[in-house]
């Protein structure tokens, strides 16, 4: 037995029968009591959690710690390795804006670091600290706030003020603070219950922000001249459809405030001139079902990234700012070439595309119409546009990495093609790319589709089927897991693991159609792809059945939860991080923050019997049956607004109740954090070390 389950008795959750009738179906839930009736307030004040639930969750944590106690030394060793790959006094490449450059850096031992600026044209200028996040975190901890995370920080156009959004609960309800840079003093009371997004108007006095409602949804936009002490916040937009979330930003040129609404498949933007902040927001184009668009202003035009008129992989259109109707094609739709994103500059338009699962950057000179491409030669790699503050610049900043190459940051002159390496991420403990090998393979799924897989392993890897494999996947919302450098995974690879990323349907590795082929009534294809990838890796002798550790988080937790039910013998263990596993109940609860916005992704089982049947057929919680399950590690956060704590808690109880074998079902719940776990750069590594120790133990490597 790999894990010694005789060390402690596993908690057995009380069963209280709850019967649910819905669209002609009846189902029974014995663990519904784990959802606190006052859950909205628990998100804001975890201390009020129902004592009965708290006792049970603490028992789960105690059991998990006892079973994993024999890996404590291994956890410490891995944690030391993870820390050794982080440059202690690291910092970002300074970003220019007018007379200054802005950046953040860490001092030795910092968890959160500090934000600063320096004069742009004076290399000898001393830095001005704008925000000492570590000092703020220590102060918050003294005030009984063990969680601390800065989500957003932004300076005013006149460079006199800085605002930042901080989460003190892990529930993603942020406070916005505004500071006078010269004095360091706050100029107004904290703005509470926000979604964390805010923008300044050009007058450097008016602040716009998005507020959360009682169900934690970002649904309201407020405006306030924060220099006027007597002025109250003014509600300027409220989204009445609970299926749409609201965000706010500044346009590429900075000339517009943008209020963006979306529900995963449809979007709508309202505009306010940034130099006329008291104007009412004007809708650019009303939302239409399954039509997405985003605006990028340039000169007297808007360039519009959209899927309108069947442009599945998106195209770029143009419209006059003064008369936005009609839109005209500018860069046409090319099936199979997905436009991921775009930016405009005074003389250039930049777009990030993905073709054949690899990204590339296309730069268009808006004066000549000529285009050129930035791409790289490795078998698998990741590119990212790194937006700056300045619009009138010939310089583009982008990032590059691959599974064996740590992140590099380049400044690229869009007119001349000059490329300057501004930063190569250092691995203080040492890293030699030639010690590792990357492969990009494709496997045939059961329905004939070809699924890309990225593999990284030791350079001298021998395909004899003996190596354990950490198989990672996500497969929802169109999110594509990039082939980027992940220093943490080296702790497994150096111990003989293969790391595999399955680019399954539900993501967009092969274009937007790859996403639509893995959602709603076609969702089973996502799970089939993941299982088929694992089976193929065994057939090709990369690993063997029972040596695969499945790993996924959030919707990726749904993925591994389904795979656990449908192919339990394939896996030697499962790591499900904050897993979305109680799909049928969650998608039937309209009060939860993400439920209405996610009906386009999963279906609405409250009204649609077909959606009910589809979800019921795969929902991990609803398909647990008596069988030999491998070891399972489940993580959760008490204040998580995305995957509420009771989902993984209920799933744990049901799995354990139906476990026919001896392998442990473990739940590790952070009682002081939410979806992202610990926020500090070192504290967050403790969870990674814990998960990797579990993987090594489950694979029989310790």
Tell me what pLDDT residue 1 has: 55
pLDDT at 313: 97
Distance of CA 669 to the CA centre of its chain: 19
Q: Is 675 a catalytic residue?
A: yes
Instruction: Report pLDDT digits (tens) over 444-457.
Output: 999 999 999 999 99
pLDDT recorded at residue 290:
94
431 is catalytic: no
- Cα separation, 176 vs 206, in Å, equals 14
Among 29, 411, 622, 640, the one annotated catalytic: 640
Q: What DSSP assignment string belongs to 442-457?
A: EEE-TTS-EEEEEEEE
Q: Please state, in angstroms and rounded to a whole number, the distance separating the CA atoms of residues 130 and 139.
A: 17
The strand pair at 234-238 and 218-225 is best described as: antiparallel
Tell me what pLDDT residue 123 has: 82
Nearest CA to 232 out of 241, 224, 240, 244 is that of: 224
554, 582, 619, 622: which is the annotated catalytic residue? 554
Find out whether the peptide bond into 122 is cis, omega within 30 degrees of 0: no
Q: How many CB atoms lie within 10 A of CB 144?
A: 8
Beta strands in 507-613 (DSSP E): 548-553, 571-577
Distance in angstroms (rounded) separating the CA atoms of residues 139 and 141: 5
CB 226 within 8 A of CB 178: yes
Low-confidence ranges of the chain (pLDDT < 70): 1
Contact in structure between 232 and 222 (CB atoms under 8 Å): no
Output the pLDDT for position 375.
87
**What letter does residue 126 receive in the DSSP assignment?**
P
Is this structure's pTM higher than 0.85? Answer: yes
Give tens-digit pLDDT for 657-698: 999 999 999 999 999 888 888 888 999 999 999 999 999 999
Annotated active-site residue in 155, 264, 503, 675: 675
User: Residue 516's pLDDT is what?
Assistant: 96
Render the burial of 244-268: b for 16+ CB within 10 Å, e for the rest. Answer: bbbebbbbbbbebbbbbbbbbbbbb
Q: Is 134 a catalytic residue?
A: no
Long-range contacts of 53-60 (CB under 8 A, 24+ apart): 56/11, 56/13, 56/14, 56/649, 57/638, 57/645, 57/649, 57/667, 57/669, 57/671, 58/671, 59/11, 60/11, 60/649, 60/652, 60/667, 60/668, 60/669
Residue 43's closest CA among 298, 281, 215, 221? Answer: 215
């Amino acid at each position: 037995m790999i894990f010694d389950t005789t060390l402690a008795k596993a908690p057995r959750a009380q069963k209280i029968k709850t019967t649910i009738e819905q669209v002609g179906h009846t189902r029974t839930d014995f663990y519904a009591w784990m959802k606190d009736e006052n859950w909205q307030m628990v998100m804001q004040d975890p201390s009020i959690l129902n004592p009965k639930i708290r006792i049970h969750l603490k028992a789960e944590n105690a059991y998990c710690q006892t079973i994993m106690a024999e890996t404590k030394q291994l956890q410490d060793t891995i944690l030391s390795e993870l820390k050794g790959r982080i440059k202690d006094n690291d910092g970002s490449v300074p970003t220019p804006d007018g007379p200054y450059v802005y950046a953040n850096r860490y001092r030795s031992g910092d968890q959160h670091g500090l934000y600063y600026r320096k004069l742009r044209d004076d290399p000898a200028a001393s830095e001005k600290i704008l925000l000492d996040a570590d000092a703020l975190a220590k102060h918050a901890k003294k005030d009984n706030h063990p969680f601390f995370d800065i989500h957003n920080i932004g300076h005013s156009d006149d460079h006199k003020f800085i605002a930042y959004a901080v989460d003190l609960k892990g529930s993603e309800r942020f406070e916005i603070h505004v500071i006078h840079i010269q004095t360091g003093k706050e100029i107004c009371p904290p703005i509470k219950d926000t979604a964390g997004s805010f923008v300044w108007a050009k007058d450097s006095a008016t602040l716009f922000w998005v507020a959360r409602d009682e169900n934690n949804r970002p649904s309201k936009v407020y405006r306030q001249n924060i220099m006027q002490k007597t002025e109250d916040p003014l509600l300027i937009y409220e989204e009445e459809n609970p299926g749409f979330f609201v965000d706010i930003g500044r346009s590429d040129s900075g000339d517009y405030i943008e209020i963006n609404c979306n529900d995963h498949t449809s979007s709508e933007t309202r505009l306010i001139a940034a130099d006329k902040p008291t104007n009412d927001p004007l809708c650019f184009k009303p939302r239409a079902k399954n039509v997405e668009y985003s605006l990028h202003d340039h000169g007297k035009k808007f360039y519009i990234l959209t899927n309108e008129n069947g442009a599945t992989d998106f195209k770029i259109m143009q419209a006059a700012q003064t008369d936005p109707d009609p839109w005209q094609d500018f860069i046409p739709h090319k099936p199979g070439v997905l436009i991921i994103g775009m930016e405009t500059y005074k003389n250039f338009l930049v777009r990030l595309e993905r073709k054949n699962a690899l990204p590339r950057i296309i730069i268009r000179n808006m004066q000549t119409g000529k285009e050129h491409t930035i791409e790289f030669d490795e078998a698998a790699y990741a590119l990212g546009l790194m937006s700056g503050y300045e619009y009138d610049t010939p310089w583009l900043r982008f990032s590059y990495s691959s599974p064996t190459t740590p992140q590099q940051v380049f400044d690229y002159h869009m007119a001349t093609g000059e490329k300057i390496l501004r930063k190569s991420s250092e691995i203080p403990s040492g890293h030699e790319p030639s010690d590792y090998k990357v492969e990009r393979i494709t496997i045939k799924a059961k329905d004939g589709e070809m699924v890309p897989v990225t593999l990284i392993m030791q350079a001298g890897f021998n395909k004899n089927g003996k190596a354990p494999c950490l198989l990672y996947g996500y497969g929802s919302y169109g999110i594509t897991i990039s082939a980027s450098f992940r220093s943490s995974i080296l702790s497994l690879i150096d111990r003989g693991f293969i790391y595999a990323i399955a680019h399954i349907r539900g993501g967009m590795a092969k274009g937007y159609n790859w996403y639509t082929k893995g959602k709603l009534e076609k969702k089973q294809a996502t799970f089939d792809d993941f299982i088929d990838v694992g089976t193929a890796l065994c057939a090709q002798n990369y690993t063997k059945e029972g040596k695969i550790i499945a790993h996924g988080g959030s919707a990726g937790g749904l993925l591994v939860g389904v795979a656990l039910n449908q192919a339990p013998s394939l896996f030697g263990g499962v790591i499900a991080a904050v897993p979305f596993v109680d799909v049928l109940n969650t998608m039937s609860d309209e009060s939860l923050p993400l439920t209405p916005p996610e009906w386009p992704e999963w279906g609405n089982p409250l009204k649609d019997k077909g959606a009910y049947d589809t979800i019921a057929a795969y929902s991990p919680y609803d398909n647990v049956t008596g069988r030999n399950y491998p070891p399972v590690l489940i993580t959760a956060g008490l204040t998580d607004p995305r995957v509420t704590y009771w989902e993984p808690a209920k799933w744990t109880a049901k799995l354990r109740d139906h476990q026919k074998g001896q392998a442990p079902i473990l739940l590790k719940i952070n009682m002081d954090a939410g979806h992202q776990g610990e926020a500090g750069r070192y504290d967050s590594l403790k969870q990674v070390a814990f998960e990797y120790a579990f993987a090594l133990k489950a694979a029989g490597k310790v």
